[in-house]
Amino acid sequence: MSSESKHDSADDRTLMAEERTFSAWVRTGLTSLATGLGIVKLIPANHQGWMIDAIGILLVIVGGLAFVFGFWGYRRGTRLWQGALPRAVPLWLVGVFSLMLIGVTGLSLALILFG
């Protein structure tokens, strides 16, 4: 038998689910961000330039929102797995990582609009 109680096991499963969900939001955001930049920078400008830019900007914004929603969900989930908190990635580290991704979103928008 394991030395952990059922409650500890449930906390650990919830923690892992929250981490996987955060990871999925980050992957979605990065994919959207890369697609938006790729569309703007790789499609020739003579093909409906303003429309391509609009699609790229929207995809980059969707990517940034995915980073925000991912952090928000992870932060909200911390209430559910207090027992597993010592084994979790520190919330401050997830926050710094999310802020860096949001910064990349802002730089990507600047690259599209002014680059």
How far apart are the C-alpha atoms of 73 and 68, rounded to whole Å? 9
Please give the pLDDT value at position 7.
52
| pLDDT for position 1 | 44
In whole angstroms, give the CA distance from residue 8 to residue 81.
9
**Spatial distance between the Cα atoms of 1 and 79, rounded to a whole number of angstroms:** 28
- pLDDT averages per 10-residue partition of the chain, 115 residues: 57 85 97 96 78 94 98 87 78 95 97 89
Interatomic CA distance for residues 98 and 115, integer angstroms:
24
Query: Residue 11 is which amino acid?
Result: D
Residue 28 has a pLDDT of 98
DSSP H helical ranges for the chain: 6-42, 49-77, 91-114
